[in-house]
Amino acid sequence: MLIYEYRIPMPLTVEEYRIAQLYMVARFSRERTSKGEGIEVVKNEPFEDSETGRKGQFTHKKIYIGSHIPSWMTAIIPSSLVTIEEKAWNCYPHVKNEYSCPFFGDRFSIITETVYINDNCASDNALNLSAENLSQRNVDVVDISKENIEPKYYKPAEDPKLFTSEITKRGPLKEGWQKDYEGKMMTIYKVAWVNVKVWPLQSKIEHWIQKSMVRDVLILGHRQAFCWIDEWFNLKMEDIRKYEDETKEILDKLRGPIAESSAPSSRGSTERPEEKKEGEASSENQKKWGWW
């Protein structure tokens, strides 16, 4: 098992980031989906933990990776069969995600837990990890203004070193930008546990997942979240939920029927759940909240 804790300072408050996160995920999903590949939203519904009374949003997604896996991995599994299932319990400012791969069964798991705090990387154990986890943890502090991304994803308008918000006047993020936002910034603390029991490539796959499926996505997504600030800053939660509903319809059209036929091992019901009133949830989702 490979454990990393990513710490990402952002020139936002925790309250602001609640909208930014939801907008970023929805728009990011639109941009990373194409015919036969991308993201399918199976469920997106409110839930409530029956024991604690805490409320949040549960989502279940299928991610069709296809051509995005490296060539050395296709020697183990055909790219057409690589489907990742994501289940997320968002009880802001705490979030838990679980990822599984039906092809590998219990030999593959990714678990991430995230907390958002109004500080500048000042919390050494924000997620209260055990002594054993702390001894295995690798800490990676990520500065979105310095990190490079793949050239195919680079856009000057989404470069924090170049961007200035018209609404908030924040940016550009130059060297030492954190000093300009003292007292009005936050840190994303995300711990990722990656466990892949596929001998003899376990270590290689785990490191590839941490870099390509966790770190690289975090960097690109949060560079965009900041540079998209003028798009989401004045949105309300009802605006975000409407945007998510529209996104699901768009993703279904973009992905097309190929995804279902190319991933037989992950088929399941994709019917939309009945609309639930705020606070209602399925018993399954209530039980899954035991991690808090």
| pLDDT at site 70 | 56
| Phi-psi group of 256: left, alpha or beta (phi > 0 → left; psi -120 to 50 → alpha; rest → beta) | left
Question: Of 219, 167, 232, which is closest to residue 18 (Cα–Cα)?
Answer: 232
Instruction: Confirm whether 113 is domain-assigned.
Output: yes
Residue 289 · residue 47 · CB < 8 Å: yes
pLDDT of the residue at 272? 37
pTM (predicted TM-score): 0.83
CB neighbour class for 283 (10 Å; exposed up to 12, middle 13-18, buried from 19): exposed
In a domain, 259, yes or no: yes
Q: Is residue 289 part of a domain?
A: no
Instruction: Please report, for the domain that includes residue 16, its CATH number.
Output: 3.30.530.20
Q: For residue 216, give the H/E element and its range.
A: helix 216-227
Given this model, what pLDDT does residue 69 score? Answer: 57
pLDDT at 76 (0 to 100): 54
- pLDDT value of position 64: 82
Please indicate, yes or no, if residue 187 is contained in any of the structural domains.
Answer: yes
Range of the domain at 31: 2-281
Alpha carbon distance 95, 114 (integer Å): 5
105: left (phi over 0), alpha (psi -120 to 50) or beta: left
Q: Is residue 180 a contact partner of residue 164, using CB atoms and an 8 Å limit?
A: no
Per residue in 76-124, pLDDT (tens digit) is 555 555 688 999 999 999 999 999 988 888 988 999 999 999 999 999 9
Q: How many domains does the chain have?
A: 1
Q: What is the pLDDT of residue 75?
A: 53
Ranges of the chain with pLDDT below 70:
35-36, 66-82, 257-292
224 found inside a domain? yes
Is 131 contained in some domain?
yes
In contact, 40 and 49? CB cutoff 8 Å = no
Residue 112 lies in a domain: yes
In contact, 192 and 139? CB cutoff 8 Å: no
